[in-house]
C-alpha cells in the first residue's frame, strides 16, 4: 500500500499491509499503530522543515507590527516590513542579531540635539540619551581641558542641548583703592556741633593678582593669588568742636550745639508773605522779630535759639523753601528785612 504526504513534497510511503481479512487478527492493531506513527512523524518533520517561521513583534513609534517570518536577522525583519532607518535611529536588539521566536524589536527615532562647540551650533538627530555617545555620533572629540554640560556620564537634559566649552586660564593684575580712615580730634576752640578738616586724607593703592578662568574666551571666575600694597592710605584728621559757651552781646551764652546756616529775612507784610498774609505763623504765634522759620527735621519747633547778628529767637514757623541748614528770620518792618537780605549765620541751639 502507498501513502502520499502533500506537506512532504508529495513523498510516498510504501507499506506492505495485508488485505482486510487476510491478516491475522492478532497482528492488525500493531499494523495500524505503526502506520499512524509513521504518518504523524512525517507530518511534524514536514511542518518543521518546510515552515520554519518565527513570530516577531516590531515596535516602531506609536505602532506595533506582528509578523510570522523566516528572516534570519533583525535587519532582515525590518526590510520585510518595509521600515527604513535614519542614521540617528536606535534599534534594539542590533540589526545583526539572529531572529528568535516571540522576539520583540524596538525602534526609537532620532530627535534633534543641539551641540554648542567652539562657538558653533551643531544640530544632530539621535535617539541616544547618553551625552558621551551623542558626542561620539557627532564626531566631536572632547579635549582634557574641555568642560561638558551636562557631564559625559550623564543623560541629555530636557532642553536637549549639550555645551562643550574650551577652558583656559590666565592672570590679571588690577589696582584698587584702599579707603582711608578718619580720625576725630576734640578742639576746645571750636563750637560744639561744628567740625573742621585739619588734614585731608588720601586713599592707598593695592595691586591684586588674579588667576582667571575662561570658558570659550569668556571669564567665568577668578581667584586671588596675591596682593601688594603700592601706596599706604593717609588718614583724615577732623577737628570736633568742644566749646559750649560763647560771649555775645556783652554776655556769656551757653548752648548745646551750633550750626552754620543760610538765612533770609521777611516781615509779615503783603510784599513778603502775600496779599492774604494773616500775620500768624504755622504754629499760631504772631509773626514778629524773634520768630524764625526752620526745618523741623534739623531744628525742632519750639527750640530756643541765638542767631549771630540777630539775637535771641524761637523756632516758631516752617516754610516750603526751608530745607536743611536754612532759616528765615522775621523783622517787624519791610525795611529791616530788606536790610538783612541773605547771609550766612551761626545758629546756637540753647538748652
pLDDT above 60 for 44: no
pLDDT above 80 for 145: yes
pLDDT at 303: 97
φ and ψ at 79, to 5 degrees?
Answer: -70, -35
pTM, two decimals, is 0.52
* Cα→Cα distances 107→62, 85, 124, 126, 286, Å: 10, 9, 18, 12, 99
- In this structure, of 5-19, 58-72, 116-130, 270-284, the range with the lowest mean pLDDT score is 5-19
pLDDT at 182: 96
Strand partners, 211: 171, 223
Rounded mean pLDDT, 81-98: 88
pLDDT above 90 for 96: yes
Separation CA 27–CA 31 (nearest Å): 7
pLDDT at 305: 97
pLDDT above 50 for 2: no
Paired sense of beta strands 257-266 and 342-349, if any: antiparallel
φ and ψ at 199, to 5 degrees?
Answer: -145, 135
pLDDT above 50 for 82: yes
pLDDT above 50 for 87: yes
pLDDT at 272: 78
Please, which pLDDT band fits residue 35 given cuts at 50, 70 and 90? low
Rounded mean pLDDT, 297-308: 96
Q: Please say whether the beta carbons of 98 and 73 come within 8 A.
A: yes
pLDDT at 36: 52
Separation CA 127–CA 112 (nearest Å): 9
pLDDT at 51: 57
Strand partners, 326: 262
pLDDT at 160: 93
pLDDT at 230: 96
pLDDT in tens, 212-234: 999 988 999 999 999 999 999 99
Please, which pLDDT band fits residue 269 given cuts at 50, 70 and 90? confident
Residues of the chain with pLDDT > 90: what percent? 64
Rounded mean pLDDT, 168-195: 96
CA-nearest of 289, 282, 264, 278 to 340 is 264
CA-nearest of 170, 218, 224, 180 to 200 is 180
CA-nearest of 140, 186, 182, 139 to 163 is 140
Separation CA 172–CA 210 (nearest Å): 5
**Dihedral of alpha carbons 217, 220, 225, 228, sign:** positive
Please, which pLDDT band fits residue 275 given cuts at 50, 70 and 90? low
pLDDT at 205: 98
pLDDT at 41: 47
Please, which pLDDT band fits residue 327 given cuts at 50, 70 and 90? very high
Please, which pLDDT band fits residue 62 given cuts at 50, 70 and 90? confident
The continuous run of DSSP H or E covering 41 comes out as: helix 28-50
Summary mean pLDDT of the chain: 85
pLDDT at 28: 54
Amino acid at each position: 500500500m502507498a501513502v502520499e504526504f502533500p506537506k512532504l513534497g508529495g513523498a510516498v510511503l510504501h507499506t506492505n499491509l495485508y488485505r482486510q481479512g487476510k491478516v491475522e487478527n492478532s497482528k492488525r492493531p500493531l499494523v495500524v499503530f505503526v502506520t499512524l506513527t509513521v504518518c504523524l512523524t512525517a507530518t511534524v518533520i514536514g511542518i518543521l522543515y518546510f515552515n520554519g517561521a518565527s513570530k516577531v513583534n516590531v515596535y516602531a513609534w506609536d505602532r506595533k507590527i506582528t509578523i510570522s517570518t523566516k528572516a534570519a536577522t533583525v535587519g532582515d525583519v525590518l526590510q520585510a516590513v518595509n521600515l527604513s532607518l535614519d542614521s540617528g535611529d536606535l534599534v534594539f536588539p542590533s540589526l545583526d542579531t539572529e531572529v528568535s521566536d516571540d522576539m520583540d524589536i524596538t525602534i526609537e527615532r532620532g530627535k534633534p540635539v543641539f551641540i554648542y562647540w567652539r562657538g558653533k551650533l551643531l544640530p544632530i538627530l539621535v535617539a541616544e540619551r547618553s551625552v558621551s555617545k551623542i558626542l561620539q555620533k557627532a564626531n566631536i572629540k572632547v579635549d582634557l581641558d574641555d568642560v561638558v554640560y551636562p557631564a559625559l556620564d550623564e543623560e541629555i537634559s530636557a532642553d536637549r542641548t549639550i555645551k562643550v566649552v574650551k577652558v583656559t586660564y590666565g592672570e590679571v593684575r588690577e589696582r584698587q583703592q584702599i579707603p582711608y580712615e578718619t580720625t576725630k580730634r576734640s578742639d576746645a576752640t571750636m563750637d560744639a556741633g561744628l567740625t573742621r578738616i585739619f588734614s585731608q586724607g588720601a586713599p592707598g593703592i593695592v595691586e591684586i593678582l588674579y588667576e582667571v578662568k575662561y570658558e570659550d574666551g569668556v571669564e567665568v571666575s577668578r581667584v586671588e593669588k596675591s596682593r601688594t600694597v603700592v601706596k599706604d592710605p593717609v588718614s583724615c584728621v577732623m577737628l570736633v568742636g568742644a566749646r559750649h559757651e560763647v560771649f555775645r552781646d556783652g554776655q556769656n551764652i551757653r548752648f548745646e550745639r551750633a550750626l552754620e546756616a543760610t538765612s533770609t529775612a521777611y516781615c509779615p507784610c503783603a510784599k513778603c508773605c502775600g496779599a492774604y498774609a494773616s500775620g500768624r505763623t504755622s504754629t499760631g504765634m504772631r509773626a514778629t522779630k524773634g520768630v524764625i522759620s526752620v526745618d523741623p527735621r534739623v531744628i525742632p519747633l519750639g527750640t530756643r535759639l541765638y542767631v549771630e547778628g540777630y539775637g535771641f529767637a524761637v523756632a516758631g514757623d516752617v516754610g516750603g523753601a526751608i530745607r536743611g541748614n536754612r532759616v528765615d528770620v522775621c523783622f517787624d518792618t519791610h525795611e529791616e528785612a530788606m536790610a538783612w537780605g541773605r547771609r550766612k549765620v551761626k545758629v546756637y541751639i540753647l538748652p
